[in-house]
Homo-oligomer: A and B are copies of this chain.
Amino acid sequence: MCRFTLYLGPPIRLDSLLMEPDHSLIRQSTNSLERDEPLNGDGFGVGWYATHFTREPAVFRSITPAWNNRNLHNLCRVVASDCILAHVRAATQFSGVNEANCHPFRFRQHLFMHNGDVGSFRAVRRRMMETVCDEAFSNVYGSTDTEHFFAVLIDELIRGGHEGDAAEIMAGALRKAIIRVVDLVARYGGAEPSYLNCALSDGENAVVSRFTDSKEHPPESLYYFVGDLYPRAEIEETREAGADTPALIVSSERLTPGPEWQKIPDNHMVVLRRNLPPEVRPCLD
């Protein structure tokens, strides 16, 4: 399993999101609280948008743990962004620890990350690959269930086209990808459930699901936040703020003790649009 955090809001230094909060993602890499196993030390990744330069987001990934990566600490001090996705990994098998398997994954302007797993992945891997278009196929570089799920999602994004509301297109694609993958697992895998906490963004919008088809266990933990991560007064003083809009955050675990954190209900997704209130809806309907 893993832990992740997604941010959409006024520009913020990576530090302010990933290092400074009481229970930041860095903290969760050694001491996550809502998993049985607290450790997420099998690499990490941070993706962020710098849309004044390019629509295509940047990604920094490493197989060393996030908590002791000096390059990450340096970057976090000086890089600011208005849309950030970060992920700390707990690999299910050591053989897969390499950079190609670190989240977030990228396709065009999209970033994707995942906490959970695809049920019976070894059995359904090639079924997943058979169903996707060539462009989605070519985007797979490693061996994780996440990247293969993302290939199905890319296939749906390409089918969805560019017409209409970007957030809706993304939400529709994620919904269809979940249905497709759960269906493939049912047909070709065993009775193993899937856990699909998935985050997809294009830099201006994001959709994040909290989903499982397990009959016995709830989905992995997931929360969203609307507000100011830091006291407004403190923000005013920093150069990195400057917007009145609230921050939107979705995170595997709450970064701060404040009441602004809402649990996403089982099998629901949250749809985020910059400067608009988040919308919570069922994953499959």
Contacts and interface: CB of A to CB of B under 8 A. Distances in A.
Contacts of A141: 95-96, 142-143
Task: Determine chain A's interface SS by DSSP, over half rule.
Answer: mixed
B68 A42 contact: yes
Contacts of A140: 143
B97 A98 contact: no
Count of this chain's copies in the oligomeric assembly: 4
Given A122-B138, A129-B129, A75 B63 contact: no
A64 interface: yes
A108 to B, nearest CB: 14
A126 B56 CA distance: 26
Interface in A34-66: 39, 41-42, 48, 50, 52-54, 56, 58-65
Given A67-B94, A71-B71, A122-B138, A80 B53 contact: yes
Contacts of A126: 129, 134, 137
A180 interface: no
Interface in A238-283: 239-240
A99 interface: yes
A85 B62 CA distance: 23
Q: Which size class do A's interface residues fall under?
A: 35 or more
A158 interface: no
A73 interface: yes
A159 interface: no
Contact of A53 (B13, B69, B130, B143): B13
Contacts of A240: 53
A271 B62 CA distance: 38
A79 interface: yes
A226 interface: no
A100 interface: yes
Which has the most chain B C-beta neighbours within 10 Å: A61, A71, A75?
A71
